Homo-oligomer: A and B are copies of this chain.
Amino acid sequence: MNLEQYIEDIARRSKEASFALRSLVPETKTMALCGIADLIERNRERIKEANRIDCERGKKNGLSAAFLDRLFLDDSRIEAMARSAREISGLEDPVGKIVATRRPQGFLLEKVRIPIGVVAMIYESRPNVTVDAASLCLKSSNACILRGGSDALESNRVLVEIIKEALEGAGIPKDAVGYVERTEHEGVYHLVRQEGLVDLAIPRGGESLVRAVTEQAKVPVIKHYKGVCHLFIDSSASVDMALKIVKNAKVQRPGTCNALETLLVHEDIKACLLPKLRDALEGVELRGCEKTREIIPEAKSATEDDYYAEYLDMILAVRVVGSVDQAVRHIERYGSGHTDGIVSQDIGNIDRFTGMVDSAVVTVNASTRLSDGGVFGLGAEIGISTDKLHARGPMGIGELVTYKWVVRGNGDIRR
């Protein structure tokens, strides 16, 4: 079988499985999800053994320490995967919710939540995504096709075997969770071209992967390319609050997409804020505009590229702006539409900022790091969207469903 046929065959079987998922009752899904959790715990040694092979091959291939750390599974991480499946089983079922209205003509009009169908997940090293994605899709009655990174192949294979065993135990077709074992790049492109079989693709990973997938796709894609997150410190801001928020947003976990990358400071507060900021952000490399460097001379000079950069590191660009609107324009131009915030005590400026900034998440007097599915109470995250249609920001199971209209009449016709 050539690669294209191989991918189409998986997609076809997933689509077929998705028919059976349309009529799943919640109890069956719970049984399968608890089954996944139990089997993960019972197969701990088997998972670790497979993961050892991946990690050893990774070391031989010279993968970075950070990459190897993401790949590595120990007892506590295996336990966390099982716990995640159990938590997802306990979420409110997103399928079947109905909003009904009686229309004046007499019939009942229902808007019914239903699964999307077949979701293709494309991701990189972390094996826990395999369990999370399968669990979230199952909970929302979607079939899924998992295409993990080649470096996690053995770990993912065992995890998928376990998931399929749990599906069978609950009487759900095994093809409800498909897995692409052939890891040629071209296979990803075939996968996102399966119109009519794959209903949605969610690529997660570096910007180049996500761009390549989006470029090739014929099926809808929900994605974010990167997180160039901003905070604007308004002239009315509480300096103490601003320092606390900036510090948290930048240093609490700089490698995440909701970490702060560029700080915009109002002209009128710069003299008061910037010296304290330098002290509060010890260990962070500052790259400032000319006005910033008048106050923090040791800051490097920020270039145009710095304003576009997603550092994911202990680096922060700093720019002085003259107004809320200048801050909004900067964010519109250089931002990625992920998460951007204002620190201010002025209700007019807050309203202007939240009204004009068109990002998936806008924060007011809060850290950008709060932009997260777990923090928002959406349950585990299947991805983050900076697109404008269907889903924005953190995506949980509530974003893995669509709807249909049901017209219930009694011989009703169009007049």
Contact = CB atoms under 8 A, between A and B. Distances in A.
A407 B371 contact: yes
A21 to B, nearest CB: 11
A157 B63 CA distance: 61
A409 B244 CA distance: 13
A220 interface: yes
Given A101-B377, A220-B389, A376-B405, A252 B413 contact: yes
Contact of A116 (B109, B249, B341, B388): B388
Interface in A223-260: 238, 241, 244-245, 248-249, 252-253
A404 B393 contact: yes
A238 B245 CA distance: 67
Contact of A376 (B103, B361, B375, B394): B103
A147 B140 CA distance: 39
Interface stretch (A53-61, A171-179, A284-292, A351-359): A351-359
A408 interface: yes
Interface stretch (A32-40, A309-317, A362-370): A362-370
Interface in A179-208: 199-200
A19 interface: yes
Given A22-B356, A388-B116, A414 B365 contact: no
Copies of this chain, count: 2
B22 A404 contact: no
A117 interface: yes
Nearest to A258: B414
Contact of A402 (B238, B388, B403, B404): B388
A406 interface: yes
A366 B392 CA distance: 36
Nearest to A107: B366
A19 B356 contact: yes
B413 A248 contact: yes
A407 B105 contact: no
A414 B248 contact: yes
Given A23-B356, A341-B407, A369-B413, 13 more contacts: A112-B354, A114-B358, A220-B389, A222-B389, A238-B411, A244-B413, A245-B412, A354-B406, A361-B405, A365-B410, A366-B409, A367-B412, A370-B412
